[in-house]
Amino acid sequence: MAQLAYGVQISEGLSEELFKVEKRSLPSVFERGMPMEVMTLTVTPDDWRHDIMEYLKCPSGPHCRQVRQRAISYVLRDEELFRIGSDDLLMKCLGKIDQMVVMTEVHEGICGAHQAGIKMRWLLRRHGYYWPTILKDCIDYAKGCEGCCRGFFLPAANGLG
């Protein structure tokens, strides 16, 4: 409020009037009607999302205790699995193929800067994506990127040549 008041110019005759300050915020993506990117919708039994989705579809069925506990952090919306983040924002849960697509885009895409694995994970989560092995996969992807290492270990540069 102090920053808001600092930018307001008040003429001398209006110093006793009240100003109404309203909070404005953007509605969620779902409320605005913006389409979410449609990626692979098929979830096979070997996909990490399968058991959680089955539990959320039918909680009264036979499910192991571990799946029931893990499912507390997830929500199913329009046949898509989302993880509830620590700030109550929904992160889209991805399968193997989609994971590679988003890691490639974040690391090497048009705005990619060949970041390290930890920075990649931060960017992916900021963009609203999640999977259980996200950190390990991002570190492995960054280590395997030949474009990141080009020019850094030339024999003449390190005295081996």
Average pLDDT in the 15-39 region? 55
Three-state SS at 105: helix
Instruction: Find the CATH number of the domain harbouring 79.
Output: 1.10.340.70
Closest by Cα among 123, 84, 122, 130 to 105: 123
Classify residue 135: in a domain, yes or no: yes
Classify residue 32: in a domain, yes or no: no
Classify residue 116: in a domain, yes or no: yes
State residue 27's pLDDT score. Answer: 54
Classify residue 13: in a domain, yes or no: no
Classify residue 125: in a domain, yes or no: yes
Q: How confident is the model at residue 161 (pLDDT cuts 50, 70, 90)?
A: very low
Which residues in 101-132 are b (16+ Cβ under 10 Å) and which e? ebbeebbeeeebeebebeebbebbbeebbbbe
H or E stretch covering 140: helix 134-143
Classify residue 126: in a domain, yes or no: yes
pTM here is: 0.63
The whole-chain average pLDDT of the chain stands at 77
If one counts the domains in the chain, the total is 1
Question: What are the pLDDT digits (tens) for 69-123?
Answer: 999 999 999 889 999 988 888 999 999 999 999 988 888 877 667 888 899 999 9
Domain around 97: 39-149
